[in-house]
Structures are given as structure tokens and as C-alpha cells.
Amino acid sequence: MRALQIAATGMMAQQTNVEVISNNIANMSTTGFKRRRAEFEDLIYQNLRRVGSQSSENGSILPSGAQIGLGVKTAAIYRIGEQGSLSQTDNRFDLAIRGNGFFQVQLPSGETAYTRDGTFGLSAEGQLVTSEGFQVLPAITVPAAAVDVTINAAGEVLAKLDGQTNPQNVGQIQTAIFANEGGLEQTGDNMLLATPASGQPQLAAAGQPGHGQVLQGFIETSNVNVVQEITQLITAQRAYEMNSKVITAGDEMLSTLSRMR
């Protein structure tokens, strides 16, 4: 009774689908979060009659064979890199990227991580850091005597010092782009790591060709569409129920066989 196993793979696939959707909904308020989509592919097939084989001694060919599929499996869970909405915060160290690119962050392990979450602040030494206290790369230190800080679209950090007319350039934010953003590894805390699938980061100042601009006083919200996610959740639930009914039908068929005398 192949139907039991086939339907079981369908239920497991829809369970994975629901888990992906639930994670999207749970992160609908997470800064810089990118929604995900589960993709599935069919399993191998059993050939009862192989298509294209000879059906007689005179060389006649089967125009179509007889193949039975064995179910479904999860192929990938893609990250959708669509730009999220920009929300104004009026915090001078909150930054958002309008367009392509990621901020660079140095993790405690020494690795460089990448993020779209620009909720930054200053450390005790005046360095630009994330909400977790991780240093933003390249290192930027704002003088303690600065009375105002402006970050322009090119990522230049300009500090206005008391008694000076012209602001002082204390650094420039660089953004990283990848040939395959979907190949980045999600590690939690809104951080991603480069992998062989993503390729090496291409670094440049914000606003350069292929790199998005930096907006000061804004953050990028999640790109989760709640209506779309709820619709997909209902579809996944219905598919799960239909697969469970196949298992019920298969069990009833086996019961009928066992009762035969």
C-alpha cells in the first residue's frame, strides 16, 4: 500500500511549509527580516513499464510508460530579498539601506557577519555598534565632543564639533553585495554569514553602482505580507488534511483486505 507512505511524505512536507509560514508571521515585526518560501520536489519514481521500451518483437515502442511517484520532499527554503518598508525613527544612529547591500558587523568570534538591521548606537568608546554591542565595519568612532552627527546617502559619517563651522568626516560606511544573496547562511540575531554558495562579498561605499543608499533616521521593516502568509497557511492546512484523508482511506482499504475470508 504505497499510498500510506506517499501521503505521509505529503503531510511532512506541509508540516515544513507551516513551520516556514509560522516563522514568517512570528518575525513580521523583526527589523530587516526577509520572508522565506518553502519549495518542494517530487521523489523518485518506480517504473512498472518504462517509457520508450520495446513492447513487441517487431520493435514497437511504448508511447508512454507506467510510473508511480513515491511522494514529495523539501527541496529548499528560499529567502525572498524584496525591499521592506522604511520606517522613520528620528534616531540619528538608526540606518536603513534603500536598495541592494548589507551592513558589515564583526562578531565576537572575529568573523564578519552581514545584516539589514541598522538599529545602531554608540559604545562607551564612541564606536558605532549594533544593538548587541557588535562593532560595525569599517570601524567608525564618533568624538565625544560631537554635538551632532549626520550620515549622508553615501555613508559618510560627519560629526559637528562645538566651535567648528565645518563638520568632520570620521568615517564612511561600506555595504556588501553578493552574487547570490540566497546562499547566505542565517545564524540568528538578524545576522548572516557568507558561504561558498553566496560567493565572496563585494565591498564599496554606499551609493556606488549596485550598492544601495544609506538613509539616516530610518529602519527597514520586515517584508512579510500578513494577508499573503495567512492565505498560504490556510492552503497548507487544507493540503495537510487531504493527505491525512488519503492515509485514512488507505487504512480502510487494508482493513477491508484483512476482513476478507
68-109: pLDDT as tens digits: 889 999 999 999 989 999 999 989 999 999 999 999 999 999
Instruction: Say whether pLDDT at 31 is over 80.
Output: yes
Q: What is the pLDDT of residue 25?
A: 96
Residues contacting 13, CB < 8 A, separation 6+: 38, 40, 72, 73, 74
- Amino acid letter at 49? R
Give the three-class secondary structure for 5. helix
Q: Are 114 and 201 in contact (CB under 8 A)?
A: yes
Mean pLDDT to the nearest integer, 121-143: 93
State the average pLDDT for the chain. 91
- pLDDT at position 162: 83
CA distance 104 to 191: 10
Q: Cα separation of 136 and 87, whole Å?
A: 21
d(CA 213, CA 98): 5
Predicted local distance difference test score (pLDDT) of residue 150: 93
CA proximity to 6, closest of 235, 242, 234 = 242
Q: Residue 193 corresponds to which cell in the numbers above?
A: 554569514
pLDDT surpassing 80 at residue 9: yes
- Closest CA relative to residue 216, chosen from 71, 90, 126: 90
Residue keyed to cell 512579510:
224
CA 42 to CA 190: how far, in whole Å?
32
Q: How confident is the model at residue 165 (pLDDT cuts 50, 70, 90)?
A: confident
Which residues contact residue 196 at a Cβ distance below 8 angstroms, ignoring those fewer than 6 apart?
183
Q: β-pairing, 185-188 with 174-177?
A: unpaired
Q: State yes or no: pLDDT of 131 exceeds 80.
A: yes
Confidence of residue 200 (pLDDT cuts 50, 70, 90): very high
Counting Cα atoms < 13 Å in the Cβ hemisphere of 139 gives 8
pLDDT at 256: 86
- Residue range 37-50, pLDDT digits in tens: 999 999 988 887 77
- Please report where in the chains the cell 518504462 appears, as a residue: 50
Q: pLDDT value at position 62?
A: 72
